[in-house]
Amino acid sequence: MKHLTILGSTGSIGTSTLDIVVAHGERFRVEALTAGSNIELLAAQVRRFSPRLAVVQNEELAGELRDMLPTGCSTEIMSGVEGLIAAATLPETEMVVAAIVGAAGLVPTAAAIKAGKDLALANKETLVTAGHLIMDLVERHEVRLYPVDSEHSAVFQSMEGHRSHDISRIILTASGGPFLNTPTEMLQRVTVADALNHPNWSMGKKISIDSATMMNKGLEVIEARWLFDLPAERIAVNIHPQSIIHSMVEYVDGCVIAQLGTPDMKAPIAYALTYPERVPSGVKPLDLTELSGLTFFKPDMERFPCLGLAYRALAEGESMPAVMNAANEVAVEAFLQGRIGFSGIAALIERVMESHLPHDLGSIADVLEADVWSRTKTRELLPA
């Protein structure tokens, strides 16, 4: 039986993780659940899974959650970063599913590693902002890190049984999102609803917008750089609108190994939870004969400037990826609130990056400082 903490249990990845837990009840015990503000769903999850600990964003929500639970409920309720760290480091927990969205996931994820917990990592922003520090911690604390992001899970699966020094490059696939065929001049006028309407995947709002701008693929290039220890020149991106091939690894002999499947996050989540075993994940089996075709092409860097910004941040290194990530989080939020147009997202991030001089990040505290600097700068540049 594997004992789990699920950080971000009310989100898209969190709820899919709990679906797997329910389907394989004999394999898992949920020790802790955390959410931001969706306390209705968290209360239902607490009743269902009876974790030792449940965590919400602040003390006020913690009070509301306590009132929603039956008297005699033994689940301890905590709040804030302190609560997230307690959930990530709970003595009974063996594996932490890191499924908080954004840089808010960094501190609890780092705490989990320091406490020796294995990780199923969905929160890509952790590696984008602090990749070198996180991979160092993983090595030092001898924990196992399983990627949940579908592309990275595909690469991980395509590398099994192979020697990493035989890899010539990895090819991350990208659906291209809802605006793949939208003329560039129309992009400024697309609505929030258009941008949230992803053709192949059902996901949280932030990553859905990131997919529409292709910043998501940029973040994934940086994530891959750290997970697989490959330089940017050896991480390619191919647009593949059908999202059937989840990514590929090309070896020095010219052979390419790919991982395929119906686009559903339950498959990579289940693999991270039960590795090296494979269990039924509830994902619809793939019938290639039902598909009209699989296509691939190079991304249009003009239509999707965020992808170029991410490669640039990776090349500049040091604090730049953390600054880019935080600027993106603020810009996406501003777009969702109707404060800037869709094309304004990339423009804003670029201005913040241009006003930043990268510097070394020696600790998680340094990363948080760069993150705060960038958020402040981005907000200053927002229209009033």
- Minimum Å gap between C-beta 220 and Mg ion is 5
Out of 18, 167, 265, 370, the residue judged to bind ligand NAD by CB under 6 A: 265
Distances (CA, A) of 303 to 95, 98, 181, 351: 40, 31, 10, 18
- Supply φ then ψ for residue 177, to 5 degrees: 70, -170
What H or E segment, with its residue span, contains residue 210?
helix 205-213
- Supply φ then ψ for residue 291, to 5 degrees: -90, 145
Distances (CA, A) of 162 to 3, 157, 220: 30, 10, 22
Nearer to ligand NAD, 187 or 272 (CB): 272
Residue 99 interacts with which of ligand NAD, Mg ion, none, CB < 5 to 8 Å by class: ligand NAD
- Minimum Å gap between C-beta 15 and ligand NAD is 8
Out of 18, 30, 35, 195, the residue judged to bind ligand NAD by CB under 6 A: 35
Residue 261 in contact with ligand NAD, rule: CB under 6 A: no
Contacts of 47 (CB under 8 A, 6+ apart): 69, 70, 73
Residue corresponding to tokens 């501190």: 107
- Minimum Å gap between C-beta 295 and Mg ion is 19
Given the rule CB under 5 A, which residues bind Mg ion? 149-151
Nearer to Mg ion, 56 or 172 (CB): 172
Two structure tokens written together for 151: 């592309």
- Minimum Å gap between C-beta 344 and ligand NAD is 21
Contacts of 193 (CB under 8 A, 6+ apart): none
Nearer to Mg ion, 111 or 265 (CB): 265
Sites for ligand NAD among residues 46-65 (CB under 6 A): 57
Two structure tokens written together for 8: 């971000």
Q: What sign does the CA torsion over 262, 267, 268, 269 have?
A: positive
Residue 204 in contact with ligand NAD, rule: CB under 6 A: yes
Two structure tokens written together for 10: 């009310």
Give the end-to-end CA distance of the chain in Å, rounded to a whole number. 53
What is the DSSP-derived secondary structure letter of residue 297?
A: B
- Minimum Å gap between C-beta 289 and ligand NAD is 26
Nearer to ligand NAD, 104 or 323 (CB): 104
Residue corresponding to tokens 């995947």: 201
Residue corresponding to tokens 């160092």: 136
Nearer to ligand NAD, 85 or 143 (CB): 85
> Which residues make beta-bridge pairs with 77?
54
The amino acid sitting at 13 is I
Q: What sign does the CA torsion over 15, 18, 22, 23 have?
A: positive
Nearer to ligand NAD, 252 or 372 (CB): 372
Distance CA 142, CA 379 (A): 39
Nearer to ligand NAD, 122 or 190 (CB): 122
- Minimum Å gap between C-beta 148 and ligand NAD is 6
Task: Give the nearest residue (CB) to Mg ion.
Answer: 149
Binding-site string for ligand NAD from residue 91 to residue 130, where x marks contact by CB under 6 A and - marks none = --------xxx--x-----------------xxxx-----
Nearer to ligand NAD, 151 or 250 (CB): 151
Sites for ligand NAD among residues 5-34 (CB under 6 A): 8-14
Nearer to ligand NAD, 87 or 239 (CB): 87
Residue 243 burial by Cβ neighbours in a 10 Å radius (0-12, 13-18, 19+)? buried
- Minimum Å gap between C-beta 46 and Mg ion is 29
Distance CA 116, CA 103 (A): 21
- Minimum Å gap between C-beta 315 and ligand NAD is 22
Residue 175 in contact with ligand NAD, rule: CB under 6 A: no
Binding site for ligand NAD (CB under 6 A): 8-14, 35-36, 38, 57, 99-101, 104, 122-125, 149, 201, 203-204, 206-207, 265
